[in-house]
Every structure is written in structure tokens, then in C-alpha cells.
Amino acid sequence: MKASELAQFKKNLLAIREKLVGNVTFMENEALRKSGHDSGDLSHVPIHMADVGTDNYDRDLTIGLIQNGEEELRAIDEALEKIANKTYGNCDECDKKILKARLQARPYVKCCIDCQRKEEEGTDES
């Protein structure tokens, strides 16, 4: 891959990372703010059991989104490391080149489309 292409992928990855860090930080702050209502301040305690259930669902959903965001951040960091090591664009499984169209769509993917399909189908031979 050309140096100019790598530079563009790095720029895109850094932009995605910056936005994602902001989103994760916002969700963490919201989760902490909402959990602050559990501190004994009865003026914020929901009166109806349905409200309690909704609050629990919202908290669980937010925690799941935070975890997904953190996983995505790790994948972005790994992709940035691969750019630095000059191994970016190679499949982690078969070491073949990942199609540029795939990298443009998701610049932090680890596998080529064939290996990804095998992994999703559970037919990975490793």
C-alpha cells in the first residue's frame, strides 16, 4: 500500500477514534449521572415499578454501548499500530491483503472478507 494511502487511513482512523472517545466519555458520564440518583435522594426515585424497569434497561443498554465502543477503540488502536509497523491491510488469519473497499468501509477490520465469513459461520479451521 502506498504511503499516501496509509496516511489517509491513519487520518480516518484518528478521526473515528476521536469521535468514538467523545461518545464513550459522554455515555460514561451519563451512566454515572443516572447512577447518582441511587445515592438515597428520594426526590429522584421513580415511583412506579415500570419506571424502575425502564431505568434498569436504559442503564444496561448504555453499559453495552460503552463496552462495544471500548472494543471498537481497541480495534482502532491495533489498526494504528499496524500502520506504524507497516502491516496494515493484511488479514490477521491468512495474511492476504484486505480489499481496499473493505478497509475504506471499516478501516479497523482485522480479517479479509473470506476469513470473516469463516469466523462468523464457525467453520474456522484453527
Q: What confidence score (pLDDT) does residue 59 get?
A: 82
Distance CA 22, CA 76 (A): 14
37 contact partners, CB below 8 Å, separation of at least 6: 44, 45
Q: What is the mean pLDDT of the chain?
A: 85
Say if residue 126's pLDDT is above 60.
Answer: no
Say if residue 47's pLDDT is above 90.
Answer: no
Say if residue 114's pLDDT is above 70.
Answer: yes
18, with CB counted inside 10 A (0-12, 13-18, 19+), is exposed
Residue 90: strand, helix, or coil: strand
Listed residue (81, 114, 69) closest to 6, CA to CA: 81
Q: What confidence score (pLDDT) does residue 91 get?
A: 96
Domain ranges in the chain? Answer: 3-88, 89-126
Count of alpha carbons within 13 angstroms of residue 77, beta-carbon side: 8
Q: What confidence score (pLDDT) does residue 122 get?
A: 83
Distance CA 60, CA 109 (A): 27
Provide, rounded to the nearest whole percent, the portion of the chain with pLDDT above 90.
57
Say if residue 33's pLDDT is above 80.
Answer: no
pLDDT in tens, 51-77: 777 777 888 888 889 999 999 999 999
Confidence of residue 44 (pLDDT cuts 50, 70, 90): low
